[in-house]
Structure 1
Amino acid sequence: MHTTIHLLADAPPQMLPARSLMAFTLASHIILVPLGVALPLITLIMHGYGLRKGDPTALLLARRWSAVMAVQFAIGVVTGTVLSFEFGLLWPGLMGRWGDVFGIGFGVEAWAFFLEAVLIAIYLYGWRRLKPRTHFLLGLPLPVAALLGAFGILAANSWMNTPRGFTLDAEGEPTDVNVWKAIFTPMFGPQYWHFVVAMLVTAGYVVAGVYATGWLRGRRDRYHRLGFTVPFTVAAVCTPVQFVLGDSIARQVFHEQPVKFAAMEIVWKTDTHVPEYLYGRLQEDGSVSGGIRIPQLDSILAGFRPDTKVAGLTSVPASDRPNPTQATIAHWAFDTMVGIGCLLVLLALWYALVWWRRRRSPESKWFYRGAACAGVASVVAVECGWITTEVGRQPWIVYQNMRVSEAVTGTHATGLWTMFGLVVLVYVFVFGSFLVVLLTMRDRWRLADGQQATGGRVAGPETDTPYGPRSAVPAGDSAAPGGPSDGGGS
């Protein structure tokens, strides 16, 4: 405790509000990221299925998901713009000194953002206006644009974890920048694919969770079955892949960022035959209180052998490592993420086993309860992953090159706390509006489906099939038959 208090006392007074503001806006933005990155692909899978099978229910789901995708993108514009300004306003030391080295990642993300905005507009416009195949083909670049945006952000973050592609002059300023080395750092590949698959898993479970909730409330028509099956299958297929990728990135951290690995596993002294602690709290003297101790497991996980040497936090001076409180936070976040991942693997295996044996989804209420919770749990796991990444790197903002205290703004702490309060109010309004819009869309869709089911007149955009009526088209581009839905909407 004394070391922690001493380190906090040495920190500039504006560092706590700057960190708090950045953490809040980043955590808020991350809630939207899975849908922004992965929902376009899931929507196009449903869209392609609808065209291939001539299934109007699938086409209706794809069209509605595209509307949600557009609303989510609009909210992401707000939260993403705030984050981009915060890098310069809160951390001018980082951007001023290192912007020329790793700033290209933000440039790539900006171009991808504008490209995705154009593609979403075209995709939304194309319903009932373009030929089916043309419309679908114009939507195919959407996932690519989303992945390109993720490429830019992960390139910047992986560089902060393992900075490469520059040399330092006599004054410690970066020169001779090599863009390719700055982008493709040792952590980039593991981080990027771990992130992308995490987005597919999270978006799949979030979307499926909506229809699982509908199933639990008695809405068990084909609309809800299909709305559940497609995104859940995507997530279930990706879940074991993500588990393997997670193990791979943890081992890469062990090699490239040994002090961060020590924080994630609360390893105090460098040693072999290191035990694994499930949760537990690291004390100032290096002891661990609470938690479940599993002998030798940490060494086995790190190097597949119990005699693998694991570097401890004391392998570097106290000023160059996370303090015990930060290490405990990183450790708890890491364990929570891994624990959720294990539960999701079990849920995916349950789904796969029933499908393999009976060629249908499970019918147990407990399965759908788990599926309904899986979306929220996945978002929590994503948040925990970012906490592990950022807190475990402390006290560095650029690993072993610049401390957070060197990068922080000189703005008075009172002004930053005031800004923090204003941002919280704005975000409450923005996310509240997002929720209201989604609920309004849901109610409108349910009303339209109810009128359709009873043979009543449906007003508004639900009147037409997704691709009609229009003049005749070539045989290869024939429209999918049928009306919009055969069940209640979610």
Structure 2
Amino acid sequence: MLMTDLLYARAQMGLSLAFHIVFAAAGVALPVLMVLSDLKARRTGDADYRLLSQKLAKGTAILFAVGAVSGTVLSFELGLLWPEFMGRYGEVIGLPFSLEGVAFFTEAIFLGIYLYGRERVSPGLHLFSGVMVAVSGAASAFFVTLVNTFMNDPSGFTPTPAGPTDVQPLVAMFSPGWQYQTAHVLLSCYQASAFAMAGIHAFVLLRHPGAAFHRKALSIALPLACVTALLQPLVGDLSAKHVARAQPVKLAAMEAHYETQRGAPIRLGGDVEIPKGLSILAFADPDAEVKGLNDFPRDEWPPVPKVHLAFQLMVGTGSLMALLALVTLAYRVRKKAWPEGRRMTWAWLLTGPLGVVAMEAGWLVTEWGRQPWIVRGVMRTSEAVTPVPHLSAPFWTFTAVYLFLGVTVVFLLARQVAGTLPGRDGGDAHVH
């Protein structure tokens, strides 16, 4: 397919978001795991937990630095690739962007204190700085998600041919459904990071079963992973119910539902059908009417196969993680300990990447599902794109930059993990 400048602009924004979201999620979740490790170290005096909090702090710093770079790129791209959107709606939705900047700088300040003040400030202030890093990271993600909520369900202004009037920034910032989308995003950050951390330490434990440091690290990651994996389907259900009411065409694309129908079924994988399942999930009513794609103008359809596939991937991976969380918590309740057997360790290794997969798939559902609008029902994506030609050049340039940054980050994080292996300086042999 011949790529137009519009497609290159969308592809560049999509690539930037897909790359940035991984580091943004880690910036939200790793400080929580860092503080939990720090608390455990203070309570038990165990040097392994202290070392873990230090390693997590270094990992947070690495990911924070890369996230700052990719986030800055995104800020420039919003203005350079989509000038009509920022020109018309910048005043409407500028408040959460400003607050996100405040949260970002607050996080940077307290991360510096936590990293370099361990022996220079009081223990209470040091722990408080860690908590503030976690709170600031969550606030940053919260404010950015509010912008996306506005784009999906705009409010707080009166649209006119000349642009928005009667602007109410607070109403725009808290557009309908903000509570579902922000909760869904924050949970996905904690879930993806906790599962990734569990997967990394499970990998080491399969090779070095006696590595006490990694067993303790797993005990920090598993509670957060299990709780978020079980909460996420509940919040996702509330979010889907809001989408059914506010964006019925997106719901129809998510489910590849073409004909309006009462008592609509859910189709799993195209072959298995659950009678009245979609009506129940969307409206909590087995006889509720669910609008199909054919009720909407064809030029307002999202890319149905892509949205449907991404949604199925999100739900499928989320279900696998929730199932593993249930089994793990059942073992914990019954045995009064976290699972240690090879089968469960393998299970956590294999599901380690699924949190990131589900998170990326969920964002694709959100972004593809809003097309062809950049601000749903008000401004089309094609109306917002820059008139500057030859957008293929920055797309391939940034692709190369992101590949370089990705390889660099993997190398740096691998060195952090390698330093904790038995027999390495800083690992079990050193601690014990």
Common fold by TM > 0.5: yes
Kept in 2, the 8 Å contact 1:229–1:361? The answer is: yes
Q: 1:168 matched to which residue of 2?
A: 159
Q: List aligned pairs for 1:401-412, cutoff 5 A.
A: 401-412=378-389
SS at match of 1:168: coil
Query: Whose RCO is larger (CA < 8 A, sep 6+)?
Result: 1
Which of these residues, 120, 127, 135, is aligned with residue 118 of structure 2?
A: 127
Kept in 1, the 8 Å contact 2:17–2:74? The answer is: yes
Q: 2:46 matched to which residue of 1?
A: 55
Q: Which runs of 5 or more residues in structure 1 are unaligned?
A: 1-7, 281-290, 455-483
SS at match of 1:378: helix
For 1:40 and 1:441, how far apart are their aligned partners in 2? Answer: 16
Please give the root-mean-square deviation of Cα atoms over the aligned residues, in Å.
1.9
Deviation, 1:449, is 4.5
Q: 2:405 matched to which residue of 1?
A: 430
Q: 1:294 matched to which residue of 2?
A: 274
For 2:133 and 2:354, how far apart are their aligned partners in 1? Answer: 26
Change beyond 3 A, Cα 1:214–1:443: closer
Q: Structure 2 counterpart of 1:307, which letter? A: D
- What percent identity do the matched residue pairs reach? 37
Which of these residues, 333, 341, 346, is aligned with residue 356 of structure 1?
A: 333
Q: Please state if 1:308 is matched with 2:308.
A: no
Change beyond 3 A, Cα 1:151–1:432: same
Which of these residues, 174, 179, 198, is aligned with residue 184 of structure 1?
A: 174
Which of these residues, 79, 84, 98, is aligned with residue 88 of structure 1?
A: 79
TM-score by length of 1: 0.84
Which of these residues, 206, 214, 218, is aligned with residue 216 of structure 1?
A: 206
Q: List aligned pairs for 1:87-126, cutoff 5 A.
A: 87-126=78-117
Deviation, 1:36, is 0.8
For 1:389 and 1:354, how far apart are their aligned partners in 2? Answer: 35
Q: Deviations over 1:194-251 (max 9, x none)?
A: 1111111111111111111111112433211110011111110121111100111001
Deviation, 1:431, is 1.3
Q: 2:57 matched to which residue of 1?
A: 66
Q: Which runs of 5 or more residues in structure 2 are unaligned?
A: none
Deviation, 1:178, is 0.8
Q: Deviations over 1:116-165 (max 9, x none)?
A: 11111111011233332231122221111111101211110000011000
Deviation, 1:335, is 1.2
Deviation, 1:57, is 1.3
Which of these residues, 218, 221, 226, is aligned with residue 228 of structure 1?
A: 218
Kept in 1, the 8 Å contact 2:82–2:386? The answer is: yes
Kept in 1, the 8 Å contact 2:188–2:359? The answer is: yes
Kept in 2, the 8 Å contact 1:112–1:149? The answer is: yes
Q: Structure 2 counterpart of 1:375, which letter? A: G
Kept in 2, the 8 Å contact 1:214–1:220? The answer is: no
Which of these residues, 371, 376, 398, is aligned with residue 399 of structure 1?
A: 376
SS at match of 1:190: helix
Kept in 1, the 8 Å contact 2:199–2:348? The answer is: yes
Q: 1:158 matched to which residue of 2?
A: 149
Q: List aligned pairs for 1:232-247, cutoff 5 A.
A: 232-247=222-237
Q: Deviations over 1:41-83 (max 9, x none)?
A: 1110110111122222111110111001101111111111111
Deviation, 1:450, is 5.0
For 2:164 and 2:427, how far apart are their aligned partners in 1? Answer: 65
Q: 2:183 matched to which residue of 1?
A: 193
Q: 1:421 matched to which residue of 2?
A: 396
For 1:141 and 1:337, how far apart are their aligned partners in 2? Answer: 31
Deviation, 1:451, is 7.6
Q: Structure 2 counterpart of 1:370, which letter? A: A
Q: 1:344 matched to which residue of 2?
A: 321
SS at match of 2:340: coil
Which of these residues, 245, 249, 259, is aligned with residue 255 of structure 1?
A: 245
Change beyond 3 A, Cα 1:242–1:451: closer
Q: Please state if 1:273 is matched with 2:273.
A: no
For 2:281 and 2:11, how far apart are their aligned partners in 1? Answer: 33
Q: 2:133 matched to which residue of 1?
A: 142
Q: How many pairs does the alignment contain?
A: 432
For 1:110 and 1:451, how far apart are their aligned partners in 2? Answer: 36
Kept in 2, the 8 Å contact 1:40–1:69? The answer is: yes
Deviation, 1:20, is 1.1
Change beyond 3 A, Cα 1:333–1:184: same
